[in-house]
Chains A and B, each alone.
Chain A
Amino acid sequence: MRAIYRLLSKIIDGYALLRDRINPGWSSKNSSRLREWKLMAYAFSKSRIGVLGGLIVAAVIVIAIIGPAISWEPYWVYKSVTDPRLWLHPPCIQPSCSEAPLFGTDEWGRDIVAMSLYGFRISLVISLLVVLLGAPLGIFLGLLSGYRGGLVDEVIMRLTDIFIAFPGLILAIAFASVLPRRIREFLEAFPALRDSLSFLFGLRPQEYGQLAALISVWFAMVIVWWPGYARIVRGSVLSVKELPFIEAAKLVGIPEHKILIKHILPNVLSPVLVMMTFDLATATLFAAALSFLGLGPQEPVPELGFMISKAATYFPERSWHVVLYFGTLLLFIALGWNLLGDALRDILDPRTRRAIEFRGEGE
């Protein structure tokens, strides 16, 4: 645990040095804030759940980044066509078995471990894209709505109400089923975009049809995701808005956008950060669910949820290993984010943070 604290401490120090380069004297002005961060890092290093979550997430990110590059089997080759023995072969443990990979193969005879290396990339990228784009959209609208009030507030709130009125998955299903064609046409018109997105997801540009499906899933999910953030941020803004220090800032003449960014946003940020971490888990499972229902990329892209969906037809006799393997992977990815979020929530709440600090040795 100490090692983790030292690592985080070094990162914080490095960040302070960087800020000092840009604005000299920054670190002395913000010394209390730096100390608070270090305390949070300490509290995090003491939380077993947090460290476990952090390790899992780090592992997932690493695998996701290098996965497609190190995978020993390309996902676009259907091996079982040439070698029928490889069709849904169960786990093959040496030395009694030698014709198939260790964990078994899927319908197309591909090593499921090799396929999962691609799957990690797809799941991670899509969950990050959804949260890192959907959350700020919601936050921005929430800030605007809460701070401005009046007509702007009414309109934005009505909009969120309408989108929240749909059960999430249902709305995403509806959008994800109507969008792929249009997005495909869009991608055809912009090959540069198509190629860079393919690279991002670890796919070949030839599969841009499946890429279109992925992008529709993303778009549908962003639509489902932003209202939650808008509501929470708006609520926070409303409670902070009336506090005297905001009024003081206004009286001194600080422009509105500065007040929003420098004074209101930091107060609102903690619960949002926690929510985003949890949402990364939710988004991973959500995207997998949409794929499971047939809305994401299809053959040959080995998206984790889609693989389970295909295996379902032969469950349980022939495909139990596929379902078990990919299911466990999804469990781990989501667990990592959830553990991290749980620990983060305890750390960012000053009351529980103090308790964690005192329980350990003072450093």
Chain B
Amino acid sequence: MAPYPNLIGFWAVCISWSALFLTAVSIYLYMDSRKNRKQDTHATGGLGFVRDFVFVWILLGLLGLYIVSIDTGSSILFASGNIVVEALLIAYTVKNRPPKEPKTEERDS
């Protein structure tokens, strides 16, 4: 039994709320940008939505992992879950990097 049993419900609501708030903000920004870009033909169908929101699906997956691992008090589950997600995120960012980027300019300091 986890310590502070009376707080786990509040805590789950808070962490879920922050993840869901982020999801809602993402959807709002996405719809807002679609509205502003009349010529946008990219990602009009459901598949585009699924693909563009990869990080949101990962986020919601993480939320599930965090609630379950903390509710069960399992550090192992928490650690292994994090490692898997980190691998997924690295693959995602590497896949989405632009083909070539110019140099970073040094400032006179």
- A and B found bound together: no
B contacts, CB < 8 Å to A? none
Which residues of A are interface residues toward B (Cβ below 8 A)? none
